[in-house]
Chain A
Amino acid sequence: MKVPLKWLKEYVDINLPPAEIARRLTMAGTEVSLQSLGGESWRGVVIGEIVAVEVHPNADRLRLVTVNLGVEEQTVVCGAPNLTAGDKIAFASVGTELIDGYSGKKAILKPAKIRGVTSCGMVCSEKELGISDSHEGIMVLPPEAPPGKPLADFLAEIVLDLEVTPNRPDLLSVIGVAREVAALTNQPLTLPEVEYEEPGSPIEEQVSVTIVDPDLCPRYCASLINGIKIGESPEWLKQRLLACGMRPINNIVDATNYVMLEYGQPLHGFDFDRIKGGKISVRRATKDEAIVTLDDAERKLDSNTLVIADSERVVAIAGVMGGANSEVSERTTSILLESANFNPASIHYTSHGLRLVSEASIRFERSIRPELTEPALKRATQLIIELAGGEAAKGIIDVYPGKKEQKKIRLRAGEVERLLGVKFSTEQIKDTLISLGFKAEKTTGEAEFIITSPYWRSDISIEADLVEEVARVIGYDAIPMTMLSSSLPQQDPEPMLDFKKEVKQVLAGYGFQEIIGYSLTSREVLEKALACTPLEPPPIRLSNTMTVDQEYLRTSLRGNLLTALATNLRHEEGAIRLFELGRIYLPRNNDLPEEPEYLCGIMSSEIEKAWPNQPQYLDFFSVKGVVESLLAKPGVSAGFKESNDSGMYPGRQAAVVVDKDELGVVGELNPKVAEAFDISQPVYLFEIDLSKLLPHTIGYKLYKPIARFPAVMRDIALVVDAKVTHRQVLEIIKGFPLVEKITLFDVYTGKQVPAGKKSLAYRISFQSKEHTLTDKEVDKVQQQILDKLADKLGAVLRA
């Protein structure tokens, strides 16, 4: 909401600097920035008159516009379609600082050659001048604007630009802001005096209004003015509308817009001669009804839409926009002026359903009070008579089925203190509320009031609302700062948070960079990453998305990591190690999805070739080692077994198994998948379901005493069939007494062993808890081990 300071001063004395007014409003709940229209920011902008408009010789959509600038004429290229000769416009010459209509940033205007025609200067839109966000067309100035004069002399103004929160529709009005300023600066408020003659015949004889659906329309007021003359509005009115970012249209529309800005009550003027039967009915639309609105668009309606209809057809979408069929035109002589109140939820539903947001709908959907309709109607009627002549019919229509008794709220000074942590005197509380227009009655209770809120406030319904009113006007700075002093709550540990932190830190220690990717992805990326169609489980789809890239919730982290790897390989040499720890989303029937925490890491193939490191190539065991070390940290020992993941290289992958739970996969990425992401080198990947892993990391551990007697080391080298696994050997050796630790230190295939065989070399550590072992004892066990290995696996000692 833009409020010109000059206009505000009509209702409240302002004897503080504008910046201080802006600060107080901001602190009290409505952010205000000061805009200075004109002055320095419009240096170089002058008023011009369009002399001629021609089509650009090389571009049908562009125009060559010749502008009279008082002493000279200039021809510039212009893209706007709404210009005709005789229009007064704002002209910026080269060197002027303007706001770029597309980027919104300030830029110095330079000469430009557009399709072969040089353009020195520019005809400005409202956005380029910083008046409004409208960049649709050129700003057309009132005809009185004198060509050649600086625009600032004609339009300069200080404007308060308010960011009004959804609970304060009363601040979408100049009087509302004046009330707030009056309370915040301790100044009295002056409201416009409304008085006009009603020489016409009684309105009830000419118009009838029926509210068919009172649940959506609590009140409908209307006045009728006959014999008006449509014309342009006077200069002061146009300038005010412009300063507020609205375009002047004609005296009737301008008057209704002006009163909406002044009072916050939207009004609508119908051409009464086009209202069939002089009958207005406020009802829900029927299924097949449609209407062409003032913006020339045809709108299909449904039975949830509230409309204004005459005896034959829909003439307006209630509270959103009027219809073209009853629009005020140059030939209009009678105005039926509507000032009504509509159900906020209904207006919100309609305006969003039709994607039609208007100044009216913004106010109605924020809930304004029905009491406001009557004063605003009278004020607008007076203004129309003033601007367009005519005679008001006697009286007004006022159908008010939704009239309610004033709500009374109890306010205890103790409650103010309980919520704010500071004690204000009952006098201070009362005076503050009265300054905002509340009524405060003392009750029999001590330090207690019964409060009635003023008719312009729709946001006050409970005691806490009143506490906020008191606090924000006195100022939040008056509330002290204390630390929580209540007793510390019990806590139930959530181990996942700590576990995630630990996993991330360990991986960073291994040289992996953490990335965070979007949870939103496309079906295509998931299919590519998992090499799997159809996807199982199917990913969850969103019903509204900005782009197809973000239509689904991810069921795997692989897509993000592979995309990230491909992106980085374009500018990185050598090894890249990335990981992401985040959720995937798995659908469940009739419930929210499951959101397990997943960990995925990738390594690209090669350590950087740079002195002094030797290039190292990765293989299955590099990535398996990462997983083993990672799991060793929380004390989990994992098994690995052959797996069959379609995204991974067949035969170079393994499932990660902990206590029979399959928790993930590790190995080399399927080269087809890498290729689909434009990666040409081998990629190693691991993926672990942390939600499943977590329970295995928790549990009681028993301390194991440190051995008091020395260990005896023995090295054995075995020759076995190539198919015999390390795990098989390990299982056998582990089963013998005194074996404390087994370390594999060499795996060999080649010339020195027979074909189809391999050599495995182990260092076995023997130890006793009771005594120092003798060679004899160790020899005996070692022989038993070798016998059993020979028996079960055909292992022989390597010569």
Chain B
Amino acid sequence: MGKKVIVAKPGLDGHDRQAKVIARVLKDNGYDVVYTGIRQTPSQIAQTVLQESADVVVLNNLSGAHLELFPETVRKIKELGISPLMIGTGVIPAEDQEQLLNNGLDVVFGPGTPPQKIVEAIKEWENTTH
């Protein structure tokens, strides 16, 4: 059975072209993808991940609020006793990437990363742990 991936947009930015492209590429690579839509709170995302029993969560934020929102979302998810693979995407400068990796994210991608890289990261995780 294909793994289930949630593509989620925490925060207030209303641009979801990138998130939709990510969702489509994941689907084309055999994943079952649930896209949450824009303007989600960390609690909303956490409940979604729980209800859907997602294996992987791809967070996308373009407003620059990733340093607060991503770790907060990870925290809310872990609080529910689940630990999916957490991937952060968006306009994330190199110095922030390190910080996010130290704050609960498993993989972080900066601006301009081709979606195929996300697929590769998930495949690698599947091969090592599942």
Our verdict on whether A and B bind, yes or no, reads no
User: Which B residues have a C-beta under 8 Å from some C-beta of A?
Assistant: none
User: Which A residues have a C-beta under 8 Å from some C-beta of B?
Assistant: none
